[in-house]
Chains A and B, each alone.
Chain A
Amino acid sequence: MTPDEAPELKPLDADILCVGFGPATGGFLTTLTRGLGEASIDSRAMPGLPPQVLCYERADDIAFGVSGVVTRARAIRASFPDLNPDEIPMAARVTDEKLVYLLDPHGASRRPALMQFADKLIEACGGLLRAEHQGWALPYCPGFLHKRDGFIFSLGQFNQWVGQQVMMTGLAQIWPSTPVAGPLVENGKVAGVVLAADGSEVRAEFTVVGDGPIGPVGRRIDETFGMPPGHQRDEWAVGMKMVVDLPDSCDLPEGTVFHTIGYPEPEIFGFFYVHPGRVASVGIFVPSWLESPVRTSYRFLQHFVQHPYLWRYLKGGRMRSWGAKSLLESGRRGEPFLTGNGYARIGEGSGSTNVLTGSGVDEAWLTGVQLAEAVLDIYREGLPFTKENLDARYTAKRRASWLDHESRIAEKARNGFQRGVLQGFIGMGLAGLTNGAFSIPRPSEDKHVRTAEDFFVARLSRSEIETARQNAAREGKPLHDALMDLCGWPPIEYDGKILVSHQDALLMGGKVQAPPDFPDHVVFRQAAVCSHCASHLCAEICSAEAIHVSTTDPQGVPAFDREKCIHCGACLWNCPDSNIEFCAAPGGLHSAEN
């Protein structure tokens, strides 16, 4: 191809196409390229060559994955038996792990009466219980929550490490900054993908769908082929975190892990873990069962890091990275059809996350490994990539593994959160301690986002809420700050280091970028639906303040600023009317340390 020739517009052929490069695809490509390197397998698309394996990643680099992770790494260690964390920046072995109940030092959270009683008890018996700094490290941590003998990773750094090894084999190409618009479906079969950049088709005998729960390929396949009976994706969370350079005063050793419950709201889980080099990851999960119509992640994160139990370690530190992502919390209930003719699903988008143990990366990795083993078998046996052949080799392998066994235990573990936070904790304990034999039944109707008046009943008057609403609309600001202020949450005193404005977090931590030449990837489908929306939850939850409600037309369609979007996808599942389309686009976070 010479420079004066126009680029080819004919469909290209490959053998295997992968969509999305995360831990699942990392496991898939690691295992597949090893197998291809050992065996003599010919390409079916280009005979005489090894199978042509392409992977398309939406983000601008394979290291821009969003998540830190503390994991038992059973599957990852099986792939790398001699795994040495020293080879991977920010990786460490777990050395100390605590489950910490955090009290509310401001009295501003919505704690159930029993929790308030527990708070008073802990405060009264603090010395006896060894509670300190408004937190109580529970003396007992159930085994299913433990990550003992596991690892702390930065997923960005881990992806980079894995991706480099895969590419150096020369047996797979990983294309960053190449969003995929959707699958190419022909006669009930996935025949490849359509690229978002130019609408070109790339055809392959087999497509590996690993683009996560908000990825357009997985979602289109669900729309086309449906979900298994009784399965649905209705529980989510926003995970938001920052990576912090710890101050000199912090003496926590690397490998320290805190899991937290109780603060800033009882429904919000938190984490804090220490990487090598005096760096820590700290963050929260804001779940869909927090029924607030003004739920926000950033403001809650700012309060979380300032909780006295954590602030004693963090104060004086400096944010070096920040990010957020959506997590599919439906677990096995969110599992789609794992295979079809010409395709298979792996990773978080395949429902592999264990919602009881709070573990997803290792499970995702394992799904990739299992699929790669199945693909190698299919090649060796000279079979086509039909649903039948994939089910017999991939689905069967998955069903027989610890992943499926543990996901069945976890399947009903979070039912209780649909009834209330205490029932949620009890339900988790019940399911975890009985290996899933007992659980709290799910109510006939799940929790839904309530109106502000209902959610803040007995805390704020209707007139207070209405005044705050009018002020927010006039100033074009989200409502959550005003209502949290009214509820007694203290203002955030910026220190310019950890406590910075939301926009500074985008610039200093996320380093958010948006390449030109792509249309807005967040689309509001029907203006009339937005105009009747009472909450504009899309703007409240937006992890990057990229969605704004107009000051001149508060009931109009919100404005979207793609220059700020970090592609967390929270708007997609928070819209109460499913009126948002989240399309494929490059850009977003540019920090490699999340």
Chain B
Amino acid sequence: MPYQIIVCGGLAPDPLQTLEPVSSPAGPALKNEMMLPAVFDPWAGHALYEAAHLAKQHPGSSIKVVSLAPKAKLQQVMMTIAQKLPFELVPLDGPGGGFTDAASIAAVLADAIAAIPGLDKSQVLLFGGWESATRGAGTVMQMVGEKLGITEQFLAVDELTIDADGALVIKERVEGGQHQVSRCTAPPAVLAWATGNLSEPANHPQTGMANMRAMMPALQKAKPASLTSALTFADVSLPAVTRQTRIVKDVPAAEIAREIAEWIKQ
């Protein structure tokens, strides 16, 4: 059967850049956030690549990406992501950082999804990242599903197959390095992906240009999302990164390994 796959995915600052938290009148932010290169959230990226894989196997399927981010940044990132696979974009103009609360984000996403013309809930697979690179709350997808009335929810998904009866067979990560395999007879379902099994597709410029014919007008018309959060932050900081470089000569590899292990223990 064809699926209507909806992928929720935002943006994250390119983690290779120098990220510095600063205070702004609107709360915490990253220094020069609008000028930082951004990437499609890697967790949502896994979901998107899995969606493309599934859609290819089931003719007639469609992929819509619902994305909340500053539309200028969203347009810039889409110039890369749109080259990877065919999809439609439902853009929502709003903050892209992690300093917004999960419930207000989920409400905005659910409203946008519910407003998609021609949505047939019996075909809907709601994909997204289990977590996100900006917020890491791991709760947005559940809340979006709840607001849309989709109660079959699977978190930390690593694999989805469709069996001969058309049922969804889903492999979720559980504690202890184990997987739990579930069988869901039919959509709708929420699948919040961990890493999946697929690598990032190569860029295909013609796919990008074909996608962009619809995306550019959609981006131009993107409306500001109304977030209604009263969340405040007491403090923000970057995770501590420790780097120590020491130049050594003629030290056996085993000795270097021992020293590194000692350093990690500290």
Q: Which residues of B contact A157 (CB under 8 A)?
A: 32, 35
- Note all chain A residues with C-beta closer than 8 A to B52: 3
What residues of chain B lie closer than 8 Å to A32, measured between beta carbons?
A: none
Q: Is the CB of A160 within 8 A of B35?
A: yes
In the assembled complex, the CB of A182 is this many whole angstroms from the nearest CB of chain B, namely 15
In the complex formed, the residue of B with least CB distance to A495 is B245
Q: Is B103 an interface residue (CB 8 A)?
A: no
B25 to chain A, nearest CB (A): 16
- Give the nearest-CB partner of A90 in chain B: B32
Known: A2-B60, A163-B76, A168-B72. A64 touches B245 (CB 8 A): no
B202, A496: Cβ atoms under 8 Å? no
User: Are B206 and A12 within 8 A (Cβ)?
Assistant: yes
With A3-B61, A176-B79 already in contact, the answer to whether A592 and B35 are too (CB < 8 A) is yes
Given A63-B37, A494-B247, is A3 in contact with B55 using a C-beta cutoff of 8 Å?
A: yes
Contact A590 B79 (CB under 8 A): no
B16 A12 Cβ-Cβ under 8 A:
no
Q: Is B220 an interface residue (CB 8 A)?
A: yes
**B-chain residues with CB within 8 Å of residue A198 when the two chains form the complex:** 204-206
Whether B75 lies near A2 (C-beta < 8 A) is no
B211 at the interface (CB under 8 A from A): yes
Tell me which residues across on chain A come within 8 A of B203, comparing CB atoms.
177-178, 197, 515, 586
Contact across chains for B245 and A195 when beta carbons are under 8 A apart:
no
Query: Please, which residue of chain B has its CB at the minimum distance from the CB of A516?
Result: B202
Q: Which residue of A is nearest B204, CB measured?
A: A7
What distance in Å separates the Cβ of A319 from its nearest Cβ neighbour in chain B? Answer: 11
Which B189-239 residues have C-beta < 8 A from chain A? 199, 202-212, 216-217, 219-220
> Are A511 and B16 neighbours in the complex by a CB distance under 8 Å?
yes
Distance between Cα atoms of A173 and B219 in the complex (Å): 12
B245 touches A504 (CB 8 A): yes
Within 8 A of B (CB), among A82-118: 88-89
Say if the beta carbon of A458 comes within 8 Å of chain B.
no
Check B244–A496 contact: CB distance below 8 A. Answer: yes
Which of chain B's residues have a CB closer than 8 A to the CB of A186?
none
* B37, A61: Cβ atoms closer than 8 Å: yes
Q: Are A12 and B58 interface neighbours, CB within 8 A? A: no
> Among the listed stretches B82-90, B122-130, B143-151, B176-184, which one makes contact with chain A, having 4 or more residues with CB under 8 Å of it?
B82-90
State in angstroms the CA–CA spacing of A168 and B74 once bound together: 11
Instruction: Please tell me which one of the listed residues A8, A175, A501 contacts residue B79 in the complex, with CB atoms under 8 A apart.
Output: A175
Determine if B80 is an interface residue (Cβ-Cβ < 8 Å): yes
Contact with A along B47-75 (1 / 0, CB 8 A): 00001100110111111000000011101
CB of B55 within 8 A of CB of A4, answer yes
- Whether B24 sits at the interface, judged by CB under 8 Å, is no
Please measure, in the bound complex, the distance between the C-alpha atom of A527 and the C-alpha atom of B60, giving whole angstroms.
Answer: 52
In the assembled complex, the CB of B83 is this many whole angstroms from the nearest CB of chain A, namely 7
Chain B residues contacting A533 (CB-CB under 8 Å) are none
Q: Are A591 and B61 in contact, CB atoms less than 8 angstroms apart?
A: no
When the two chains form their complex, are residues B216 and A173 in contact, meaning their CB atoms are under 8 A apart?
Answer: yes
CA distance A56 to B212 in the complex (A): 14
Say yes or no for A257: interface residue by CB 8 A criterion: no
Consensus secondary structure, chain A interface: loop
Chain B residue nearest to A160 in the complex (CB): B35
Give the complex CA separation of A321 and B17 in angstroms: 9
Closest to A89 in B: B32
Q: How many residues of A contact B (CB 8 A)?
A: 55
Report B-chain residues with C-beta under 8 Å of the C-beta of A170. Answer: 216-217, 219-220
A63 to B79 Cα, complex, angstroms: 14
Residue of A nearest to B55 (CB): A3
* CB proximity to B under 8 Å, residues A300-335: 320-321
Residue-wise, chain A 143-170 has the 8 Å CB interface mask toward B (1 for contact) of 0000000000000010011011001101
Task: Give B220-266 interface residues, CB cut-off 8 Å to A.
Answer: 220, 243-245, 247
Q: Which residue of B lies closest to A201 (CB)?
A: B206
Please tell me which one of the listed residues A54, A167, A202 contacts residue B75 in the complex, with CB atoms under 8 A apart: A167
* Beta-carbon contact of A591 and B86 below 8 Å: no
- Which listed residue (B76, B83, B202, B247) contacts A164, Cβ 8 A? B76
User: What string of 1s and 0s marks CB contacts (under 8 Å) between A331-371 and chain B?
Assistant: 00000000000000000000000000000000000000000
A4 touches B58 (CB 8 A): yes
- Does B36 have its Cβ within 8 Å of any Cβ on chain A? yes
CA distance A9 to B62 in the complex (A): 21
Q: Is A579 an interface residue (CB 8 A)?
A: no
Contacts of B31 in A (CB 8 A): 89
Not counting A175-B79, A200-B206, A592-B35, a sample of 20 additional A-B residue pairs whose C-beta atoms are within 8 angstroms of each other reads: A1-B207, A1-B210, A2-B62, A3-B52, A3-B61, A3-B85, A3-B86, A4-B58, A4-B60, A54-B209, A61-B37, A64-B37, A167-B76, A170-B216, A173-B216, A175-B83, A198-B205, A200-B205, A494-B245, A517-B202
Question: Can you identify 24 A-B contacts, CB atoms within 8 angstroms?
Answer: A1-B207, A2-B86, A3-B61, A3-B87, A4-B59, A12-B206, A56-B205, A61-B37, A63-B37, A89-B31, A160-B37, A167-B75, A168-B72, A170-B216, A173-B79, A178-B83, A178-B203, A513-B16, A516-B202, A517-B202, A586-B203, A590-B16, A592-B14, A592-B17
Q: Closest 5 interchain pairs by CB?
A: A3-B55, A511-B16, A89-B32, A517-B202, A496-B245
